[in-house]
Structure 1
Amino acid sequence: MAVYILSNRKIVRHKGEKVDSFSNDEYSIPNFRIAKCDFDGYKEPTAQAQKKKDYTNRNILNYKLFSEPEKQGYEEVLEVLLSEKGNKKSNLTANNLGGTQRLFYELYKNMSSTKLRSDVLIFIHGYAYDFDDELKAIIDLKKLFIDNPESPIEHILFVSWPASSSIVPLTYFDDKAASINSGNSLMRLFYFYTQFLKDIFSNKVLTPCNQRIHIIAHSMGNRVLQSMLYSLKRENIVRVIDQVLLLNADVSYKVFEDSEDSFNKLPLLSNRVSIYLNRKDAILGISQFTKNILTPRLGKNGPSNIDHFKDIVSIIDCTFIEDDLLNTLKFDVGNHWGYLSSSQVQRDIFQNLNGIDRNLITNRLKNNENIFTIIS
């Protein structure tokens, strides 16, 4: 099990600390830095501890930033892997690797060391998260996806981007600029990953691990994904993602149209795409009427036209779910966080990630070929 943070937040050195940290500032840098979360000494905080002003940064969850690589490319990763297999003599070890080199090395080692499902989830959060909020969200995601035996997820890559830290759901800020910058950084990471695959598996001694990688984007995190897709050239897209889940997506309902040239690339990137929508989503209603010139949102209204993607893209209507896990005013009124508040949505997501045929997923009412409603 491993949880990583991929962030284009500013790097700072807090007063009294000896190590670098991610900043809470709403400011993005051009490239992602990578950190690994340390759960070995993690303890659930008491209510009193959470009220303290010093319940921030590593007091929430410890993490360590990877060093930047001394050399670009993945030749040194290949050398370390071959050395560990006894196929090449080298003084290099994993400690010599930095950045994406270390990330991809560790994931490959862990995912190829078992015959059981050991999938990776790339999670892109929505609006109103400062970095401390993200650390709390990471803890929740680990419980939901890694600790839960129904889930095939063993590793999480949490995409941390500097969204506005607004009060939910009373105010709603448009983080479009930050999401665009973060999407460009994510695009570079995708290209790094495809280069890693080419460099590593050019050697026949090393074989693919046959595990799966999934993407979940929630709310405005879909704009980060959209920005990445804008930048990807079709001829360079490799199908390396299994499932893409678009949860309460705060993007235009037209994103799958060719004129948008963004989400219509998802079928080239992934095996299956699932749009989870809620027609009572109040947060997306605010987004539509105050920030997006009355443009219907994908996560509230569904896509405009996906007839030519019916085999790959599914629509899952969550309008009638029950918030049986979290039912505070935020969740009851917002109808925006079903993946956290509803066991019905969670069960549906787990079945999706496990690769169950969409027609065989339980507690669904089939409306037509690719549209389903979650029922109790």
Structure 2
Amino acid sequence: MLFITNRFPRQSIKTRIHRNFDFDLANNAASNSVFFCERLGREVYEEIGSKRFLQRLKAAKHRQILIYLHGYSNLPEDVFPAVEEFQALCEAQEPEEALVVPLIWPCDNDMGAVKDYWDDQESADLSGFSFARVLQKFLAWREHDQFEEDAALCLKRINLLAHSMGNRVLRETLRVWRKYHLPDGVPLIFRNTFLVAPDIVNEALDVGAPGEVICHASRNVTVYFAADDLSLRASKAVNLKNRIASRRLGHTGPEDLALVPRNVYAVDCDDVNIRYDADRGHTYFRSGVNPGEPGAVFLHLFAALLSGRVFPEDPARRMTILKEG
């Protein structure tokens, strides 16, 4: 499995092709460097460098790429099995359609969820600087192969899925990308951007808000939310304790669809999220009731991935309620 990370390795931060790469799990600082790697097995990783990484993506038989931004308090070996599950669901629906590529950002491994939450918010914000550099590389690669003379353009479509606090990483990445690299505006780099249980304020996508840039970079932005998401209830309580009064986008969807760009869509998952994740109702976008079998959220998401349209049967529609079956 190919992956990109800004977690510090135990080794030097200097890139060395084909070296072993070992995560320093005790260090949750966001590195300014990014590392392009391959997972060869459980806790076995190799650094392959950006040139070989992008060449591997281009050579893959898959027609689309799905960048996967995980949520808070997830260590690498928590993320990789989730990506494997999602990849298997994609292959079962349509072989060689979407290649899932995780971005691993530095969550904490301290004891205590509240401490992890605040540490991870800081890491999420700081990760924006390093991942903005990754987007610069993807943009150059998509428009021309900088490593091969007279190489054809890469026509693979790029999509992005951000879960939970991964949405904060995405927001900060695009904000930094625009501010320091593209002051005239970001390009339309993502075909679909899926915001699943987003742990950001529910006005984040409003015109003029910091997250509006997500809409500028995407053809479609689909928000999946559930009012009884227990993880986001805890998130709201933690933020209130620190005098940040805000409802979460993953609880309510956009505060007012009239105030967000027209390419934003809302999907209410309240009827299925607890069925798919009985503990928290938070991770409901992969398997459904039975492990390895797609749930209604995954099927909706994958249909948009295939068609490039969220509601192809009714282009004017902007919201729906998902139900099992």
Describe how 1:141-156 pairs up with structure 2 within 5 A. Answer: 141-145=86-90, 147-150=91-94, 153-156=97-100
Structure 2: gaps spanning 5 or more residues: 12-18, 289-294
Deviations 1:210-236 (A, max 9, x none): 321110000000010011122132525
Aligned to 2:278: 332
Aligned to 1:65: 47
Letter in 2 for 1:104: L
Give 1:238 deviation, angstroms: 1.6
Q: 1:225 aligns with which of 132, 147, 170?
A: 170
Give 1:282 deviation, angstroms: 1.1
SS at match of 2:77: helix
Cα 1:172–1:277 shift into 2, 3 Å:
farther
Q: 2:7 aligns with which of 9, 15, 28?
A: 9
Do structure 1's residue 165 and structure 2's residue 109 form an aligned pair? yes
Give 1:358 deviation, angstroms: 2.8
SS at match of 2:33: strand
Q: Distance in 2 between matches of 1:222 and 1:131?
A: 17
Deviations 1:125-172 (A, max 9, x none): 001112232333333333233x32347644222110111236798986
Aligned partners of 2:192 and 2:308 also within 8 Å: no
Cα 1:196–1:118 shift into 2, 3 Å:
closer
Equivalent residues, number: 302
Letter in 2 for 1:163: C
Describe how 1:113-128 pairs up with structure 2 within 5 A. Answer: 118-128=63-73
Do structure 1's residue 275 and structure 2's residue 223 form an aligned pair? yes
SS at match of 2:282: coil
Describe how 1:1-376 pairs up with structure 2 within 5 A. Answer: 3-12=1-10, 19-25=20-26, 26-38=28-40, 58=41, 60=42, 62-66=44-48, 99-110=49-60, 118-145=63-90, 147-150=91-94, 153-165=97-109, 173-174=117-118, 175-200=120-145, 205-233=150-178, 234-261=183-210, 263-292=211-240, 293-307=244-258, 309=260, 311-321=262-272, 326=276, 331-342=277-288, 343-355=295-307, 357-360=309-312, 369-376=317-324
CA RMSD in angstroms comes to 3.0
Structure 1: gaps spanning 5 or more residues: 39-57, 67-98, 112-116
Letter in 1 for 2:100: I
Aligned partners of 1:152 and 1:353 also within 8 Å: no
SS at match of 2:92: coil
Superposition TM-score, scaled by structure 2 size: 0.82
SS at match of 2:93: coil
Q: Distance in 2 between matches of 1:341 and 1:8?
A: 28
SS at match of 2:135: helix
Letter in 1 for 2:87: K
SS at match of 1:291: helix
| Larger Rg, first or second structure (1 or 2) | 1
Aligned partners of 1:28 and 1:161 also within 8 Å: yes
Q: Percent identity?
A: 19
